[in-house]
Structure 1
Amino acid sequence: MREVDSPSAIYGSGQLQPGPTVVAQVPLVNWVAAGHWQETVESVSPADCEAWIDTTKRVGRTAFALRVKGDSMEPKVPDGAVIVVDPERQPANGSLVVVRLDDDAEATFKKLLIEGGRRYLAPINPRYPVIEIKGPATVCGVVRQVLIDLD
């Protein structure tokens, strides 16, 4: 490590540029709430949310955030990352989505694949299997942003 007398020795003498502009704040909710978000969003109070997350993406008014659990979406989205989800955005083939399969209480986060009229939920981590959506499923929203803390 080398000691530095002033920040300009590191950053140069030019002006520092501002970071991205925060466009909205979205509630951080749990995975069960995410699976039923469209039915409950109007009755959610600020006290029901773990936190409010700043986003630099333009999202719909019903957007929410989730903390990723597990490593099925690594290396792109690590365990503990926060994803910003927009229920008002239409999913497409290859979209990262939050989906609730109708026989599950919790939602899941995967990549949506559409092939020949069939729909699949694919993890990014190859150690996990691809899931064919055979029964009813609800797309809770499309992931618009991934936020990762490095500490």
Structure 2
Amino acid sequence: MKISDTRLQNFRRLLVEKKLRLTDIADRLGKAPAQVSAFGGKNPTKGIGDQIAREIESALGLHNGYLDMPYGLGELSNATVLSHTGRKLPVIGSIVAGAWCELQEAFDPRDAEEWIDAPGPVGPRAFILRVEGMSMEPRFVEGDKVVIDPSLEALPGHFVAAKRTRDQAATLKQLKQEGNELYLFALNPDWPERIIRMTEEWSICGRARWKISDL
């Protein structure tokens, strides 16, 4: 299903659930009824674009990206099983990511800092980890967004999101192997704890697939 179809279905369902008319939406958006009818009427002539979708969500008190998620997933799941066309992923920080790794089914979409388009096909539990700290400089700097895909096998040499049981926080590191031992490696040569041996205290949440940087 295309993202425009998902948005239209959600929009029409919200009209019924909230007992709203197109004119009510027009009033809340500050637009002419004809404009709303063009994307949400019985015979729409255009799709609900990104900007209009975000304006509708704001006007109805919904979280950012609500209209982009298939019905039933907005209350309990991560970016979900949308088709590759218009797939949205949640951007989350280290603490939320750590909790997400353990309780995927309990992820609250409101915990996401934002929802952005996936740069390509990803697994159903993929998310975007916002890089914190300087441990992975210069390859990754604070604020970079990295797509983490738990469905991909993580092998030595790959960048991974790993979670520590003690504080439940997730961190981005490179997976290394020496003999039968696995290690988490920080790229920054000045980082105080550059090499961490993988013990029972650590678990891998997923493999890094893409980096998304803000300019």
TM over 0.5: yes
Q: Is the 8 A contact 2:100 2:107 kept in 1?
A: no
Q: CA deviation at 1:22?
A: 6.3
Which stretch of structure 1 is more off in the superposition, 127-136 or 50-59?
127-136
1: CA distance, partners of 2:200 / 2:111:
31
Deviation readout 1:61-94 (Å, 9 max, x if unpaired): 1111121111111111111101110111110011
Aligned counterpart, 1:79: 142
Deviation readout 1:70-125 (Å, 9 max, x if unpaired): 11111111111011101111100111001012223211110000120101110111
Q: What is the letter of the counterpart of residue 149 of structure 2?
A: D
Whether 1:64 aligns to 2:64 is no
1:111 to 1:148, Cα distance in 2 relative to 1, 3 A: same
Compare the two structures and name the one with the higher strand fraction.
Answer: 1
Q: Is the 8 A contact 1:57 1:144 kept in 2?
A: no
Compare the two structures and name the one with the higher helix fraction.
Answer: 2
Structure 2 residue ranges without an equivalent (≥5): 1-83
Aligned-residue RMSD, C-alpha: 1.8
TM-score where L is the length of structure 2: 0.56
Structure 1 stretches of 4+ moved >6 Å:
none
* Corresponding pairs, count: 130
Aligned counterpart, 2:74: none
Q: What is the letter of the counterpart of residue 94 of structure 1?
A: G
1: CA distance, partners of 2:202 / 2:195:
15
Q: CA deviation at 1:136?
A: 3.3
Whether 1:143 aligns to 2:205 is no
2: CA distance, partners of 1:122 / 1:106:
16
Aligned counterpart, 2:169: 106
SS at match of 2:103: helix
Q: Is the 8 A contact 2:93 2:131 kept in 1?
A: no
Identity %: 36
2: CA distance, partners of 1:77 / 1:22:
27
Structure 1 residue ranges without an equivalent (≥5): 1-20
Q: Is the 8 A contact 2:160 2:208 kept in 1?
A: yes
Q: How does 1:2-151 map to 2 (within 5 A)?
A: 24-128=87-191, 129-150=194-215
Q: What is the letter of the counterpart of residue 55 of structure 1?
A: A
TM-score where L is the length of structure 1: 0.77
Q: Is the 8 A contact 1:71 1:79 kept in 2?
A: yes
2: CA distance, partners of 1:41 / 1:101:
16
